[in-house]
Amino acid sequence: MGILPTKRLLLYGVGLSAALGATYLYGRRLTRLNETHELDEIRDGSSLIDVDGVRVHYVESGKGPAVVLLHGMGASTFSFRRTIPALAESRCAVALDLPGFGLSDRARLKDASLTGAVRLVKQVIERLGIERAAVIGHSMGGAIALRFAEAYPNTVERLVLVSSALPNGIIPRWVRPFWRGPLVRTMVSFALHNEPFREYLWRSGVADVSTLSDEVRRGLRRPIVVRGTTEAITSVGIALFRDRPVDLSRVHQPVLLLWGEGDRWLDLRSARALLWGLPDARLQIIPHARHMVLEERPEEANAAILSFLREREAAAAPEAARTAVLEV
């Protein structure tokens, strides 16, 4: 009788291994079936800049003080399609596609970590002649923006963090032993190419599903059909726990935390953690919006961003700023 539990456990183990293997193979098949285009087929004469052999796509619009925009995981400059025109009326807006995303090269990077992204952003803006700028980061782009501000304080004038990932502990410690190529690659392929799962993710990113118009869906999907996208994003995902911790107390620039009230991807707990960790930050909450707040509520988001960027001085002393929670 004592052998039965052992056999049962063995059968469970074999079944689980078979299921995981089948899921992994299905993810690989999804990637092959969906990533069918080369970058040059969809770039259409886009603006590119070469940094260490990697061609980085950027969108530049307007004249005046510079604003650099950094997108999130799996996203692109399309995330800022409603933000750039508003900024360009009075500023020079420069949105970057990070390598592996959007219309930038899918080449394997020497350093796919957030720290590597920071160094690359610095090289790009130097090549574009930008010495000092405000930086807007959405989701993972917010974590990069914070690291950028800490590493190059004289380059960053102020920060706007929109539904930002925390710069530390993006991958929980308990997950790290399992956070290997096959797992991450399968997760990425499902998020990008499994239609029901992708649809679930998109819908969970908005409060009003009508935001996901045909135009928005095309814009979100356009870059992810490029060959090599799953592998490139996988390399970024695997590298997420390699960065050293960021000391938020060293980020002294004025910071606007802009959040959708119902964000399910990075909820208001993340916003409040940043609010209390940063010396000079304020939180502005936009109701009836989730993670895609820049697409869903562009008028309110743009008004908040422009008002913050126009300020010449910090609105309040650090301790007072921490308690300022505003709603549009």
pLDDT of amino acid 93: 98
pLDDT of amino acid 13: 55
pLDDT of amino acid 16: 47
pLDDT at 316 over 50: no
pLDDT at 38 over 80: yes
For residue 260, the SS3 value is strand
Residue 263 tokens, joined: 């964000």
pLDDT of amino acid 169: 73
How far lies 297's CA from each of 69, 111, 132, 164, 274, in Å? 18, 35, 28, 17, 22
pLDDT at 318 over 80: no
**Pairing of β 54-61 and β 48-51:** antiparallel
pLDDT of amino acid 27: 75
Residues 34 and 60: beta-carbon distance below 8 Å: no
Task: List the beta bridge partners of residue 59.
Answer: 95
pLDDT at 285 over 80: yes
pLDDT of amino acid 241: 79
Q: What angle do CA 8, 10, 12 make, to 5 degrees?
A: 70
pLDDT at 35 over 70: yes
**Whole-number mean pLDDT of the chain?**
88
pLDDT at 168 over 70: yes
Query: Given phi > 0 = left and psi -120 to 50 = alpha, else beta, which region is 316?
Result: beta
Question: 21 falls in which pLDDT band (50, 70, 90)?
Answer: low
Residue-wise burial string across 26-39, b where 16 or more C-beta atoms lie within 10 A, e elsewhere = ebeebbeebbeeeb
pLDDT of amino acid 18: 53
Residue-wise burial string across 183-207, b where 16 or more C-beta atoms lie within 10 A, e elsewhere = bbbbbbbbbbbbeeebeebbeebbb
pLDDT at 320 over 50: no
pLDDT of amino acid 3: 52
Q: What is the DSSP letter of 37?
A: B
pLDDT at 105 over 50: yes
The CATH homologous superfamily for domain 41-171+245-327 is Alpha/Beta hydrolase fold, catalytic domain (3.40.50.1820)
Please give the model's pTM, rounded to 2 decimal places. Answer: 0.88
pLDDT at 1 over 90: no
Which has the minimum average pLDDT: 188-197, 238-247, 283-292, 296-305?
A: 238-247
pLDDT at 151 over 50: yes
pLDDT at 12 over 70: no
Question: 231 falls in which pLDDT band (50, 70, 90)?
Answer: very high
pLDDT of amino acid 311: 87
pLDDT of amino acid 75: 95
Question: 99 falls in which pLDDT band (50, 70, 90)?
Answer: very high
More confident residue, 247 or 1: 247
Residues 114 and 243: beta-carbon distance below 8 Å: yes
Q: What is the DSSP letter of 56?
A: E
